[in-house]
Amino acid sequence: MQGGSKLQVKRTLGKAFSYGLIALAVIVVLLPLYWTFSTSLKGSKAILHIPPELFPRQLTFSNYVDIFEIIPFGALLLNSVVVTGLTTVISLVLGSLAAYGLSRYKFPGSGSIFGLVLGTRMIPPVAYVIPLYLLISNLMLLDTWWGLILAHTSITLPFTIWIMKGFFDELPRDFEEAAMVDGCSRLGALRVALRLALPGLFVALIFVFVESWNEFMFAVTITRSSASKTVLVGLVGLLQYPYRQPWGELTAGLLIYTLPIFFIAYFFEKYIAKIYVLGVLK
Amino acid sequence: MKKRKNIPSKALGFLLALPALLLLALVCFFPIAQNVELSLHSWHLAVGAPKNFVGLANFEHLISSSVFHKVLQNTVIFTAVSVPLELGGGLGLAILLNRKFKGKEAILAILSLPMLVAPVAVGLVWKWFYALDYGMLNPLLGIFSIGEVNWLGDPSIALFSVIVADAWTMTAFMMLFCYAGLQMIPPERYETASIDGASGWQKLRYVTLPSIKGILIIGLMIRSIDAFTRLFDLIYVLTGGGPAWSTEVLPIYTYRTGLKFFRIGMGSTLAIFALLITIVLISALWKITRR
């Protein structure tokens, strides 16, 4: 009896300890985010108060309005949406077509082509950003949506091909063959396969969206004016704002921009694990 | 699978792949190859100087450059400290979370959040968190009577501060990675260990860790490649490579050389270094995973 209760105490203590550690991790993750959020709700005087107010005394939403005035936030948001949207469409369309071709038809060199695509996925963007800048400049696409979209596809297209090929490879061919027996054309068979691979398309969609939405190095290289600048480039530019660093407006803009990411983290947590973790293990 | 009449021609497969391949050739294969040509030239674009062939002079210059040595040293320190830190933290969290309890999904979502936020946004968040006088970290540490620290302005501390911000985001990656690995362990192994009377620690030591050793090594390699060649956004915002070169690492140095000071030839030479390091690490990873 005695030994049993001792073991129980030990177990309870162990449990409390591990929950304590998890709670600590949650706090560490949330602290900088809390600071960002609380700053976005402070007036400019409260932000520059020394010592800093850990809990804002007066709440204001003015930063969420002012961010649209100190930079053309609406225009930048449009740029981000257009660039991410078109990058996503182009990557998914071209990527799944290529994946289908590489998965279903073995033609001379198809293996090495796929190897090349796989290799591209691992190459860091900084290894080709300089020649890519020269190329975009020669194409007269600096400071345009299309210049940045081209750059983004260099990251997102290899991933889409790779993940979609994985999905097509696992798809039994029976359905497509049945469709073709029923008189469908080869492209009809492709349509059947695409419908069956919808979960794969969805995974690719989330990944491509997050990559393009979050991308900064190409954006800061290629975009200049509010004609093409993305939100992140505009917000980083605020650090050079004359006379003060407008942290209230900056944090407000940052939180607006990150809303879709919060949404994805909350609703598609399981997909995230699949994309970033199992993807690597395959 | 046997060839059948209605299995379409090889040409169609190639045609389907062609648009994507052409686009990739334009924006990726071609630029990567062009690095080689550019690295053999001296080309100061900013001052409008002509492009001069200099052979391997850029490489020779880098090998003897003390700044480049400092950059490599910073990159190695960053990788050697941040990656094990993230692996340790991630593995610990994954083990703690690898059981059933209420609200686990929500906690997993919160803990993986930093990984999804744009790295440059993470940089901005931490720049403000670290800020002297107006930031939150110093007053917070003041509660434990730790004095003011100039987190990003002190050359002996700045790299450490960058590592902490990086660990904040990338521990989440390692956690998900290890968590997936833990879930793949067949439960029978634990049952056998229980029958043999193993304690919690013994199970961890003799069942859990050996079972996910392979995954841990892969995670370590992947994060090392990233740490060595992709650390750009965070540094761009937090320190810009300073103060006094203390946070200048390979990706940001490559970028600044080529696209801020427009020394195109030297920048491309650095890019080739980054490329070579990536290839070496990837082939090591390839060997490990094929085993």
ipTM of the complex: 0.91
Q: Which residue has the higher pLDDT, B91 or B286?
A: B91
Quote the pTM value: 0.91
From CA B232, how far away is CA A178, in angstroms rounded?
A: 50
**Partner A contacted by B237 (CB < 8 A):** yes
Give the per-residue pLDDT at A265: 85
Give the per-residue pLDDT at B264: 94
Contact list, B172 vs chain A (CB under 8 Å): 29
The rounded Cα B9 to chain-centroid distance in angstroms is 42
Cis omega (within 30 of 0) on the bond before B243? yes
From CA A92, how far away is CA A190, in angstroms rounded?
A: 14
* Partner-chain residue, chosen from B35, B113, B268, that has the shortest CB–CB distance to A265: B113
Q: Does A105 contact B129 at a Cβ distance shorter than 8 Å?
A: no
Segment B202-220, tens digit of pLDDT? 888 888 888 888 888 888 8
pLDDT at A276 over 80: no
Residues 6 or more apart in contact with residue A79 via CB below 8 angstroms: A145, A223, A226, A227, A228, A229, A230, A231
* Lowest pLDDT segment from A71-80, A205-214, B40-49, B282-291: B282-291
Segment B260-278, tens digit of pLDDT? 999 999 999 999 999 999 9
Instruction: For chain A, count helices (H), then strands (E).
Output: 15, 0
pLDDT at A4 over 80: no
Q: Which of B122, B141, B92, B98 shows the shortest CA–CA distance to B237?
A: B122
pLDDT at A190 over 90: no
Element of type H or E holding A202: helix A198-214
pLDDT-derived band at A61, boundaries 50, 70, 90: very high
Which amino acid does the sequence have at A126? V
Mean pLDDT confidence for A266-270: 81
- Residue A205, classified by CB atoms within 10 Å of its CB into exposed (0-12), middle (13-18) or buried (19+), is middle
Give the per-residue pLDDT at B200: 79
Cα A227–A228–A232 angle (5° rounding)? Answer: 125
Q: Which residue has the higher pLDDT, A55 or B291?
A: A55
Contact list, A239 vs chain B (CB under 8 Å): 127, 237
- Listed by start position, the domains of chain A span 2-62, 71-240
**Partner A contacted by B259 (CB < 8 A):** yes
Segment A121-152, tens digit of pLDDT? 888 999 999 999 999 999 999 999 999 999 99
Q: How many residues does chain A have?
A: 282
> A interface mutation test: which of B4, B38, B98, B113 has the most A CBs within 10 A?
B113
* Number of Cα atoms under 13 Å in the Cβ half of residue A130: 35
Residues 6 or more apart in contact with residue A253 via CB below 8 angstroms: A67, A71, A73, A231, A234, A235, A238
Give the per-residue pLDDT at A279: 59
From CA B264, how far away is CA A13, in angstroms rounded?
A: 61
Share of chain B above pLDDT 70, in %: 97
Q: How far is B201 from chain A (nearest CA, A)?
A: 12
Domains of chain B with bracketed CATH:
61-250 (1.10.3720.10)
Domain A71-240, CATH: 1.10.3720.10
pLDDT at B4 over 60: no
CB B165 within 8 A of CB B126: yes
Contact list, B180 vs chain A (CB under 8 Å): 273, 277-278, 281
pLDDT at A80 over 70: yes
pLDDT at B134 over 90: no
From CA B159, how far away is CA A122, in angstroms rounded?
A: 25
Q: How far is A254 from chain B (nearest CA, A)?
A: 7
Segment B100-127, tens digit of pLDDT? 888 888 898 899 899 999 999 999 999 9
From CA B250, how far away is CA B21, in angstroms rounded?
A: 29
Q: Which of B287, B283, B236, B211 shows the shortest CA–CA distance to B119?
A: B236
Give the per-residue pLDDT at B103: 86
Mean pLDDT confidence for A183-206: 85
CB A232 within 8 A of CB A280: no
pLDDT-derived band at B7, boundaries 50, 70, 90: very low
Contact list, B116 vs chain A (CB under 8 Å): 210, 214, 261, 264-265, 272
